[in-house]
Amino acid sequence: MNNQALAIQSLRYEITEMMQMVLTQLNKAHDALLTMDKELANEIISIEKKVNAMDINIDKACENILALYNPLAMDLRFVLAVLSINKELERIGDNAEGIAKYILNGDITSPFSNEVLLEIEFKSMFETGISMVDDAIYSFVNEDTKIAKWVFGKDITLNQINEKCPKVLTKLIQEDPSQTSKYLYLFSIIKKLERVGDMAKNIAEETIFFVDAKIIRHKVDKYNEKKKG
């Protein structure tokens, strides 16, 4: 063990901890939305403060490692991947926080009905999004690119569900215009979930870069297009 090995070990621990925190935020956001639970929403905000602090610490740790140790090969790819993944995690946290704020600010006046949630396939969408983040995290921590590739497949599923939402929400608004504001917030939540899916995909891409030294950014969409066709 030397200073470099210690620093990289410490960075690995920190990014893993941040991953767990962000996953917790997403799970709480899912549960909080079902019943507009303000206590859960507050917990998400509280975790967000820690996530933001960790974001800064991890960036600084990466800077120090690059400056002090000139890491090479897999060590270098690890640090570069962590720098990117850190940003993605922080954005996932922001999205979870955004959902929590809708609940806390009273923007959404009452829980969504089960019928509405079923119609937009809320449960399926949210669970797919969370499992994408979970898979991406697992693949990074275990350096398993096979699992990373699952994320791309699930992104197709998520996008297919999302694509139906504008039509469904338009219909719901037409049926009950008094609920327009509420459905617009629901649409915003769906867009946040879509972004979370994109971030999970980015984390999976960074994992493949770290482990296999392959850059598949921009090639993933072609891969998904092929699978759809």
Does 67 participate in binding another protein (rule CB under 8 A)? yes
Query: Which listed range, 13-21, 66-74, 86-94, 150-158, lies at the site for another protein (CB under 8 A)?
Result: 66-74
CA distance 165 to 182: 14
Closest separation in Å from C-beta 66 to another protein: 9
Cβ proximity of 207 and 139 under 8 Å:
yes
Q: Which is nearer to another protein, 66 or 173 (CB)?
A: 66
Structure tokens at 154: 């699930």
Q: Which is nearer to another protein, 65 or 165 (CB)?
A: 65
Does 4 participate in binding another protein (rule CB under 8 A)? yes
Does 56 participate in binding another protein (rule CB under 8 A)? no
Query: Which listed range, 36-44, 59-67, 109-117, 213-221, lies at the site for another protein (CB under 8 A)?
Result: 59-67
Closest separation in Å from C-beta 64 to another protein: 5
Site size with another protein, rule: CB under 8 A: 10
Does 68 participate in binding another protein (rule CB under 8 A)? yes
| Residue owning tokens 């621990």 | 13
CA distance 14 to 211: 19
Query: What's the per-residue H, E or C state across 100-119?
Result: HHHHHCCCCCCCCCHHHHHH
**DSSP H or E segment with residue 170:** helix 145-175
Site for another protein in 122-151 (CB under 8 A): none
The alpha-helical segments, DSSP class H, found in the chain are 3-35, 38-69, 73-104, 114-119, 122-141, 145-175, 180-212, 220-228
Residues that bind another protein (CB under 8 A): 1-4, 63-64, 67-70
